Amino acid sequence: MQRTSTTTRRAVVGAIAAAAALAALPAAAQPAFPSKAITIVVPFAAGGTTDILARVVGQALGAELGQSVVIDNRAGAGGNIGAQLAAKAPADGHTLFMGTVGTHAINQSLYKKLPYDPIEDFAPLTRVAMVPNLLVANPTKPFKTVKELIAHAKSHPGQVNFGSSGSGSSIHLSGELFNAMAKVNMVHVPYKGSAPAVTDLIGGQIDVMFDNMPSAIQHVRSGRLRPLAVTTAKRSPELPDVPTIAEAGVPGYEATSWFGMFAPADTPAPVIARLNSALVKVLAQPEVRKKLAEQGAEPVSERPEQFAAFIRKETAKWSQVVKASGASAD
């Protein structure tokens, strides 16, 4: 599917120019925003990482903007249902979207046809966080390390499964990448969000999961899940004793999830500038950074044009992973 970043570049350039013009206006002449409650559409179920991050940031954003923030969970189809809803929302800044590496860098390669365009239908505001995925297992399973998991999967081909928050999510592709690099054949079991997958993992209905750390770390700390490794190139400060997958038996393995805030594409440039400014302030607050860090997430903030450039690089990267893995959601 051919993509173009023309609309995104236009929105970003317009936002910069509008911000300068807006600052020069007297206060009485500036447009009133926000004028009502703000809704953040989350394309996955409550309790998952996307939801957790949206609630932490949304609470602080509401205080910064002087309006309440409502979280609207619209799970399904690997994030596509929520993304389509947000893309078609009124472009006035009162509906935002917590996008992910899945909705904005993976799905366009995974699905033959999307009900939204990740580039043309959205105006990027800022990345919010970078998040490691955590390979976790049900504690009753007969493997305690990555090498033991690989050996078990090879001796039981097609009998070991891994859950995900949905086809095409970074959680899913982290598992497909592991399959390819470790030369095993674990079976993918997609769910409508991370939370229900974790519930089944704890209950023993599935064997392992490459979950985003914020939705798994509490269960690791409580002992309900066994951590095998993190998917990033370096160990997580929150779980320093847990090795990376690369050092635990699969050299060269690396996968990182990210989350970012978007508005519908035709949102006025001054509103985009106001939202970006507010989000940057929120993500610099010590309390917000502490809450994100406790979840294993690394806070990130940037200008809209920086976020747009990052998305282009991620789209190219993950399209290669999808192609190499042979993954498809159709």
Q: What are phi and psi of 73, to 5 degrees?
A: -80, 120
Neighbours of 161 (CB within 10 A): 16
CA dihedral 202, 208, 213, 216 (to 10 degrees): 0
CB-CB neighbours of 71 under 10 Å:
16
**Contact partners, residue 192, CB within 8 Å, separation at least 6:** 44, 45, 75, 76, 165, 166
Segment 307-318 shows an average pLDDT of 94
CATH architecture under which domain 132-248 falls:
3-Layer(aba) Sandwich (3.40)
Q: How confident is the model at residue 24 (pLDDT cuts 50, 70, 90)?
A: very low
Per DSSP (E only), the strands in 181-313 are 187-190, 208-212, 226-230, 256-264, 298-299
Contacts of 9 (CB under 8 A, 6+ apart): 305, 308
Across 9-13, 86-90, 116-120, 274-278, least confident range:
9-13
Contacts of residue 196, defined as CB under 8 A and 6 or more positions apart, other chains included, come to 45
Does position 4 have pLDDT exceeding 90, yes or no? no
Place of tokens 């959601």: 329
Helix (H) or strand (E) holding 217: helix 213-222
Percent of the chain topping pLDDT 90: 74
Name the DSSP letter for residue 79: G
Contacting residues for 218 by C-beta, under 8 A, at least 6 apart: none
More confident residue, 19 or 171: 171
> 164-212: per-residue pLDDT in tens?
988 778 898 899 999 999 999 999 999 988 889 999 999 999 999 999 9
Q: How high is the pLDDT of residue 29?
A: 47
Q: Is pLDDT above 90 for 245? A: yes
Give residue-wise pLDDT tens across range 42-89: 999 899 899 999 999 999 999 999 999 999 999 988 899 999 999 999
Average pLDDT of span 212-225: 94
pLDDT at res. 14: 52
Strand partners, 106: none
Domain 6-131+256-325 and domain 132-248 have a common topology: yes
54: Cβ contacts below 8 Å, ≥ 6 apart? 40, 42, 71, 98
Query: Once rounded to an integer, what is the mean pLDDT over residues 277-281?
Result: 98
* pLDDT in the model for residue 139: 96
Query: So what's the pLDDT on residue 1?
Result: 43
Domain ranges of the chain: 6-131+256-325, 132-248
Give the span between the Cα atoms of 43 and 207, in whole angstroms: 25
Q: Please report the pLDDT score of residue 10 as a whole number.
A: 52
Mean pLDDT, the chain, rounded, equals 90
Q: Is 293 exposed, middle or buried (0-12, 13-18, 19+ CB in 10 A)?
A: middle
- What pLDDT is recorded for position 256? 87
Burial grade of 147 (CB within 10 A; 0-12, 13-18, 19 or more) = middle
pLDDT (0 to 100) of residue 31 = 57
pLDDT of residue 82: 97
Residue 317: which pLDDT band, with cuts at 50, 70 and 90? Answer: confident
- Which CATH number applies to 6-131+256-325? 3.40.190.150
- CA 83, 53, 136, 321 torsion-angle sign: positive
